[in-house]
Amino acid sequence: MKYMIMTFGEASAMMETKSADWIRKMIEFMHTLNDDLREAGELVDAQGLTDGSQAKTVRFQNGTPVPTDGPFAESKESLVGYWIVDVEGEPRAIEIASRIVAFVEAPIEVRRVADGPPEV
């Protein structure tokens, strides 16, 4: 089963509140985690994203798609990175997320990737 493990935050806040040493260790941790998941055959994809301030949201207004600056959510925190893993089940996905939480000490969201559209 595939799961998306998502981390949220704000890059500018991290740069203001975390030390350069912590940021280097966090990047090293992420590389190690990716290597471990790759070696286990569980990693499908993992990416870090640019800060939400660089995002564009496209909305449909008056019959026309209109792009606006900023992330979809009206909050400072937005999706900053993700892993897609192919694992035996939810317990393993939560185990991986728990490893991340133990390092970053911030919430991580785990969501199963749908096998297809919902039945109607």
- Residue 41 CA to chain centroid, in angstroms? 19
- pTM of the prediction? 0.85
| Domains in the chain, number | 1
**Calpha distance 90→1 (Å, rounded):** 8
**Domain-embedded: residue 41:** yes
Helices (H), the chain: 11-17, 20-39, 90-104
| CATH number of the CATH domain containing 75 | 3.30.70.1060
Is 29 part of a structural domain of the chain?
A: yes
Please give the structure tokens belonging to residue 87.
């694992």
Q: pLDDT 10s per residue in the chain (120 long)? A: 999 999 988 877 777 888 999 999 999 999 999 999 999 999 999 999 888 778 888 999 999 999 988 777 666 678 889 999 999 999 999 999 999 999 999 899 999 999 899 888
Q: Is residue 118, in this structure, part of any structural domain at all?
A: no
pLDDT at 24: 94
d(CA 103, CA 109): 15
Is residue 17 within 8 A of residue 26, CB to CB? The reply is no
Which domain does 75 fall in, by range?
Answer: 2-112
Query: Does 119 reside within a domain?
Result: no
